[in-house]
Amino acid sequence: MEKKWVYSFAEGDGKNKQLLGGKGANLCELTQSGIRVPPGFVITTEACLSYLNDPHRTLPHDLMEQVKTHLRSVEEAMHRRFGEKKKPLLVSVRSGSAMSMPGMMDTILNLGLNQDTLEGLIHDTGNERFCYDAYRRFIQLFGKVALGVPDELFDEAFEQIKKQAQVTQDIDLSARDLKDICKKFLQVVERYTAKPFPHDPNEQLEIAIKAVFNSWMGKRAVDYRREFKITPEMANGTAVNIVAMVFGNMSNNSATGVGFTRDPGTGENVIFGEYLVNAQGEDVVAGIRTPKPLAAMADEMPGIFKELMELRNSLESHFKEVQDFEFTIEEGVLYCLQTRNGKMNATAMVRTSVEMVHEGLIDKNQALLRIKPDMLEQLLFPRLDPHTDMQPVAKGLAASPGGASGIAIFDADRAEKMGHNGHKVILVREETKPEDIHGFFASQGILTSRGGKTSHAAVVARGMGKPCVAGAEGITVDVKLRQAIIGEVRISEGDIITIDGSTGAVYLGEVPLIEAEFSSDLVTLLSWADEKARLLVMANADTPADAKRALKFGAMGIGLCRTERMFNDPARLPIVIDMIIADTKEEREKALDKLLPIQREDFKNIFSIMAPRPVTIRLLDPPIHEFLPQEQQLIDEIDILRNLRKNLRGLRVLSDTVSFMYQNDPAHPKVLTPADPELLDAVILKKEMMLSKVRSLHEVNPMLGHRGVRLGLTFPEIYSMQIRAILEAAAECRKEGIDVHPEIMIPQVCTAQELNRVKEWVAEIHKQVEDAYGLKISCSFGSMLEVVRACMRAENLAEEAEFFSFGTNDLTQATFSFSREDAENKFLPMYNMNHILQDNPFEVLDVKGVGKLMELAVQWGRTTRPGMKVGICGEHGGHPASIEFCHQIGLTYVSCSSPRVPIARLAAAHAAIKSR
Ligand code: ADP
Ligand code: MG
Ligand code: MG
Buried b (16+ CB within 10 A) or exposed e, 19-51: bbbbbbbbbbbbbeeebebbbbbbbbbbbbbbb
User: Which residue has a Cα nearest atom 8 of ligand 1?
Assistant: 107
Based on the fold, state whether residues 136 and 167 are members of the same structural domain.
Answer: yes
pLDDT of 282 reads 78
Segment holding 319, helix H or strand E: helix 302-319
Output the CA–CA distances (angstroms, integers) from residue 774 to 245, 720, 736, 771, 852, in the order listed.
Answer: 87, 20, 13, 5, 46
How far apart are the C-alpha atoms of 174 and 250, rounded to whole Å? 13
Which residue CA neighbors atom 24 of ligand 1 most closely? Answer: 245
| Domain end point (choices 514, 541, 568) | 514
User: Does the structure show a pLDDT above 80 at 629?
Assistant: yes
62/151 same-domain check: yes
Q: What average pLDDT does range 635-641 have in this prediction?
A: 91
**Tens-digit pLDDT profile for residues 199-232:** 999 999 999 999 999 999 998 899 899 888 899 9
At 227-264, the pLDDT tens digits run: 888 999 999 999 999 999 999 999 899 999 999 999 99
Is a pLDDT exceeding 70 seen at residue 672?
no
Residue range 734-768, pLDDT digits in tens: 999 999 999 999 999 999 999 999 999 999 999 99
Are 379 and 350 in contact by the 8 Å Cβ rule? The answer is yes
Instruction: Tell me what the pLDDT averaged over the chain comes to.
Output: 92
Atom nearest to 326 CA in ligand 1: 14
User: Which atom of ligand 1 lies at the shortest distance from residue 258's CA?
Assistant: 14
Region of poorest pLDDT, from 14-18, 542-546, 657-661: 657-661
Kindly tell me the burial class for residue 142, based on how many C-beta atoms sit within 10 Å of its own C-beta (0-12, 13-18, 19 or more).
buried
Per-residue pLDDT tens over the stretch 422-437: 899 999 999 888 778 8
- DSSP assignment, residue 112? T
790 CA to centre of ligand 3 in angstroms:
13
pLDDT tens digits, residue range 297-343? 999 999 999 999 999 999 999 999 999 999 999 999 999 999 999 98
Instruction: Decide: 377 and 397 in contact? Cβ < 8 Å.
Output: no
Q: What is the pLDDT of residue 668?
A: 63
The answer to whether residue 375 sits within a structural domain is no
Environment class of 122 (CB within 10 Å of its CB; exposed 0-12, middle 13-18, buried 19+) = middle
CA distances from 556 to 613, 615, 801 (A): 6, 10, 22
State residue 572's pLDDT score.
Answer: 85
Whether residue 354 is contained in a domain is answered as no
Measured in degrees and rounded to the nearest 5, phi and psi for residue 475 equal -105, 135
615 alpha carbon – ligand 3 mean position (Å): 17
Give tens-digit pLDDT for 2-29.
Answer: 899 999 999 999 999 999 999 999 999 9
Secondary structure string (H, E, C) spanning 682-740: HHHHHHHHHHHHHHHHCCCCHHHCCCHHHHHHHCHHHHHHHHHHHHHHHHHHHHCCCCC
Is it the case that residue 513 has pLDDT exceeding 80? yes
Tell me how long the chain is. Answer: 916
- Which residue's CA is minimally distant from atom 16 of ligand 1? 281
Residues 78 and 190 in one domain: yes
Cis, peptide link before residue 293, omega less than 30° from 0: no
Note the Cα 632 to chain centre separation in Å. Answer: 41
Tell me the C-alpha distance between 869 and 644, whole Å.
59
Distance CA 796, CA 86 (A): 89
CA 524 remoteness from chain centre: 23
CATH label of the domain that carries residue 469? 3.50.30.10
- Which of 397, 287, 285 has its CA nearest to residue 338? 285
Task: Give residue-wise pLDDT tens across range 684-741.
Answer: 999 999 999 889 888 888 888 999 999 999 999 999 999 999 999 999 999 999 999 9
pLDDT of residue 200: 97
Amino acid at 465: G
In a domain, 374, yes or no: no
At residue 99's C-alpha, the angle toward residues 93 and 105, to 5°, is 40
Considering 651, 681, 696, which residue would you say is the last residue of a domain? 696
Element (H, E) at 89: strand 88-89
389 and 328 part of one domain = no
What DSSP string runs through 328-392? EEETTEEEEEEEEEPP--HHHHHHHHHHHHHTTSS-HHHHHHTS-GGGGGGGGS-EE-TT--PPP
Ligand closest to CA 620: 3
For ligand 1, pick from 20, 78, 94 the residue to mutate: most ligand atoms within 8 Å of CB: 94
Q: How far is the CA of 786 from the centre of ligand 3 (A)?
A: 6
Is residue 715 in a domain? yes
Ligand with smallest separation from the Cα of 240: 1
DSSP string, 579-592: HHH--SHHHHHHHH
What is the C-alpha separation between 52 and 759, in angstroms, rounded?
67
Q: Which atom of ligand 1 is nearest to the CA of 94?
A: 6
Q: Please identify every residue whose CB atom is under 5 Å from ligand 3, which is an ion.
A: 786, 807, 810
Does 51 reside within a domain? yes
Considering the domain architecture, whether residues 791 and 879 belong to the same structural domain is answered as yes
- Residues in contact with 28: Cβ distance below 8 Å, sequence separation at least 6, in sequence order: 7, 9, 10, 11, 12, 13, 14, 20, 42
The kind and range of the H/E element at 258 are strand 255-260
Q: How far is the CA of 371 from the centre of ligand 3 (A)?
A: 32
Q: Is residue 582 in some structural domain?
A: yes
Work out the pLDDT band at 671, boundaries 50, 70, 90.
low
Name every protein residue with a CB atom under 6 angstroms from any ligand 1 atom: 38, 92, 94, 103, 107, 109, 243-246, 256, 281-282, 326, 328, 337-338
- pTM beyond 0.85: no
Q: Are residues 263 and 135 in the same domain?
A: no
Pairing of strands 292-293, 272-277: antiparallel
Measure 707 CA to ligand 3 centroid, in angstroms. 10
Q: Does residue 103 fall inside a structural domain?
A: yes
pLDDT attached to residue 387: 79
- Among the atoms of ligand 1, which is closest to the Cα of residue 327? 16
Segments of 146-249 assigned E as strands: 238-244
Q: Are residues 575 and 596 in the same domain?
A: yes
Q: Is 786 annotated as a binding residue?
A: yes
Identify each DSSP E strand in 501-628 by its residue range. 505-508, 513-514, 536-540, 558-562, 614-618
What confidence tier does 287 reach under pLDDT thresholds 50, 70, 90?
low
Nearest ligand 1 atom to alpha carbon 285: 14
Cα–Cα distance for residue pair 70/64, rounded to 1 Å: 10
681 and 707 together in one domain: no
**Residue 561 annotated in active site:** no
pLDDT for the residue 567: 84
CATH number at residue 721: 3.20.20.60
Predicted local distance difference test score (pLDDT) of residue 1:
65
State pLDDT tens for residues 429-474. 998 887 788 899 899 999 998 887 778 888 778 767 689 998 877 7
- Residue 105 alpha carbon, nearest atom of ligand 1: 3
Q: Which domain holds residue 679?
A: 629-696
pLDDT of residue 213: 96
Ligand 1: centre distance to CA 242 (Å)? 10
CATH code (residue 189): 3.30.1490.20
Q: Which ligand is nearest to the CA of 749?
A: 3
Beta bridge partners, 88, equal 81
Contact by Cβ (8 Å): 468, 500: no
Beta strands in 751-828 (DSSP E): 780-785, 803-806
pLDDT over 90 at 663, yes or no: no
Distance spanning both ends of the chain, measured CA to CA: 42
281 neighbors 328 (Cβ within 8 angstroms): yes
Instruction: Report d(CA 154, CA 176) in Å as an integer.
Output: 17
Q: Atom 15, ligand 1: which residue's CA is nearest?
A: 281
Catalytic residue among 131, 873, 886, 896: 873
pLDDT attached to residue 268: 95
If you write DSSP's letter for every residue of 391-456 in order, what string do you get? PPSEE-EEEE-SEEEEEEE-SHHHHHHHHHTT--EEEEESS--GGGHHHHHH-SEEEESS--TTSH
Which residues in 143-179 are b (16+ Cβ under 10 Å) and which e?
Answer: bbbbbebeeebbeebbeebbeebeeeebbebeeebbb
**Which is the catalytic residue, given 48, 70, 336, 456?**
456
Per-residue pLDDT at 658 exceeds 80: no
CA of 101 to the centre of ligand 2 (A): 10
Average pLDDT over residues 375-397: 83
- Is 2 annotated in a binding site? The answer is no
Q: pLDDT tens digit string along 133-169?
A: 999 999 999 999 999 999 999 999 999 999 999 988 8
* Closest ligand to Cα 703: 3
Q: Is residue 573 part of a domain?
A: yes
Centre of ligand 2 to C-alpha 20, Å, is 15
773 and 908, same domain (yes or no): yes
Instruction: Please choose from 337, 340, 435 the residue to mutate so as to test ligand 1's pocket, defined by most ligand atoms within 8 A of CB.
Output: 337
What number of CA atoms fall less than 13 Å from residue 755's CA on the CB side? 27
Q: How many domains does the chain have?
A: 5
3-state secondary structure of 226: helix
Q: Are residues 473 and 543 in the same domain?
A: no
Q: Which atom of ligand 1 is nearest to the CA of 103?
A: 3
Of 366, 352, 443, nearest to 405 by C-alpha is 443
Distance CA 487, CA 484 (A): 10
pLDDT tens digits, residue range 835-860? 999 888 998 999 999 999 999 999 99
Cβ–Cβ < 8 Å for 305, 297? yes
What ligand is nearest to the CA atom of residue 328?
1
User: Residues 762, 721: contact at Cβ < 8 Å?
Assistant: no
Q: Which ligand is nearest to the CA of 623?
A: 3
- Proximal ligand: closest to the CA of 808: 3
Q: Which atom of ligand 1 is nearest to the CA of 243?
A: 23
Rounded Cα gap, residues 623 and 216, in angstroms: 54
| Mutation choice for ligand 1 from 106, 328, 336, CB with most ligand atoms inside 8 A | 328
Find the mean pLDDT for residues 879-888: 96
- In terms of domains, do 387 and 467 share one? yes
Q: What is the pLDDT of residue 463?
A: 63
Atom of ligand 1 nearest to the CA of 107: 6
CA distances from 138 to 108, 110, 146, 154, 322 (A): 7, 5, 11, 12, 32
Judge if 668 and 572 occupy the same domain.
no
pLDDT, tens only, 83-101: 999 999 999 999 999 998 8
Residue nearest to atom 20 of ligand 1 (CA): 92
Sequence-separated (6 or more) residues with CB below 8 Å from residue 562: 540, 542, 618, 621
Q: What residues flank ion ligand 2 with Cβ within 5 A?
A: 326, 338
State in Å: Cα 777 to ligand 1 middle.
70
Half-sphere exposure of 120 toward its Cβ, with a 13 Å CA cutoff?
17
Query: Rounded to the nearest 5°, which phi and psi values hold at 199?
Result: -95, -20
Q: How far apart are CA 344 and CA 367, in angstroms?
A: 14
Q: How far is the CA of 170 from the centre of ligand 1 (A)?
A: 19
Mark whether 456 is an active-site residue: yes
Domain termination residue (choose one: 643, 661, 696): 696
Report CA(804)–ligand 3 centroid distance (Å): 13
Rounded to the nearest angstrom, the distance between the alpha carbon of 697 and the centre of ligand 3 is 20
Q: Which among 42, 338, 339, 456 is the best mutation to test ligand 1's pocket, defined by most ligand atoms within 8 Å of the CB?
A: 338
| Cα–Cα distance, 146 to 109 (Å, whole number) | 12
Nearest to 150 by CA among 183, 108, 191, 122: 191
Q: CA 876, CA 439: separation in Å to the nearest integer?
A: 31
Phi, psi at 493, each rounded to 5°: -55, 135
Distance between CA atoms of residues 607 and 547, nearest Å: 9
Residue 673 has pLDDT above 80, yes or no: no
Give Cα 825 to chain centroid, integer Å. Answer: 24
Whose CA is closest to 82, among 64, 106, 105?
A: 64
Closest CA to ligand 1's atom 9: 107
Question: What CATH number is given to the structural domain containing 331?
Answer: 3.30.470.20
9-13, 761-765, 821-825, 905-909: range with lowest mean pLDDT: 821-825
Q: Which of 30, 95, 109, 215 to mutate to test the pocket of ligand 1 (most atoms within 8 A of CB)?
A: 109
Shortest-distance Cα residue to atom 22 of ligand 1 = 245
Neighbour count for residue 715 (Cβ, 10 Å):
19
